[in-house]
Amino acid sequence: MRITVSVIKADIGSIGGHTLPSPEVLAIARERVERAKGSLLIDAFVCHTGDDICLSMTHTHGVDDSRVHELAWQAFREGTEKAKAQGLYGAGQDLLKDAFSGNVRGLGPASAEMEFEERPNEALIIFAADKTEPGAYNLPLYLAFADPMYSPGLLLSESLHDGFTFHIMDVNHTEGDRVIVLPAPERLYDIAALLRDTHQYVIESIWSRRHPSEQAVAVATSRLRNIAGRYVGKDDPVAIARVQKIFPATEEFGPPFALGAFVAGDTRGSHNLPLMPVPINTSASTFFCVPMVSALGFSMHNGILSTPADLFADPFWHHVRDRVAAKAIEMRKQGFFEPATLPYSELEYGGIVVRLQRLDREFTIRDGKAEGAPVGTPAGVEGDNPA
């Protein structure tokens, strides 16, 4: 049976700043999706990570189905009206357009989808990140699908020996999707050369090489500033990973995320802090909006989802979070100096643009002739959405 898994997530308003959605707003999104089960949808699960509401839906209509995307869009629109009525901060923040245009891509919400022939024992993980960008998944997915130091199945499982194919997107290319397809392990160094730049190159999908029609991963790749032309918040990406058998095992995703790799985002979307694995329905951290990621493990049969396993909630992850918190505290001690703050090319608040333009006019060359010096100009303009 061919099943489509659609995961769509958006920040439509939160309590007291960028923290978490109100119970009433979350209930509206949940009710709207539940109402579609048994007709448009087979099954669905609704939760939040930080201030983002995440809709995980199964159906048989394929990727980019306009009805499924409109369902998510309307759920977010209805939730936004409630958020406005409650005076929540950033109400409708991720809804960047007024009208639905066939799917949510390009409208603001993060979206990852995958269509596949369901296995008898289909197992998958849904990742939801907050306060960061799509490139936050680059290192964990590289380690899980290409590095036997972290993913022993690449050595121990015959079904993984052929490796995987990485589809990598240039997310800053504005004239259509620019994608390169590279096989691992043969092109491992080329893959690494691209994925190290998490602001420019992002994993879009990963595919099995032993079974080329089998997709392993789908990642949301939209960058909100490329849609809006200004800073409106971080991209807060979602991802879907199929696990077990011809894919890495569920537990082989643990060590890559336990690293707490430094990623872009945090307060005002302008800093680097470690990515903290958290249980679902966790509020965004008041410690500088440290980036966070949750992971739900599902079994699925005929499109019906099991009760999820909260994969970052078992006792081991308490120790990981303590270590990630220590890394975050040390990085924040560096204040506004790089790499604690992002390079000029990625800064997303316009106040510093104005400041640099003023300073540029004050530069002189040593022979006394005034000449504006080219000072790095960050992307974006003045905004009022700090995370």
Active site residues: 11, 231, 234
Distance CA 242, CA 236 (A): 20
Using alpha carbons, select from 8, 10, 52, 49 the residue that is nearest to residue 276. Answer: 49
Radius of gyration of the chain (CA): 21
130: Cβ–Cβ under 8 A, 6 or more apart, which residues? Answer: 49, 50, 51, 52, 234, 236, 284, 291, 292, 293
Q: What are the structure tokens assigned to 295, written together?
A: 């992971």
Distance CA 181, CA 369 (A): 50
DSSP strand pairing (276-277 vs 292-301): parallel
Distance CA 263, CA 274 (A): 6
What kind and span of H or E run contains 71?
Answer: helix 66-85
Q: What b/e readout covers 71-87, taking b as 16+ CB neighbours within 10 angstroms?
A: bbbebbbbbbebbeeee
Strands (E), the chain: 2-10, 43-49, 52-59, 110-117, 122-130, 164-170, 178-184, 201-208, 215-219, 238-242, 262-265, 271-274, 276-277, 292-301, 304-305, 309-310
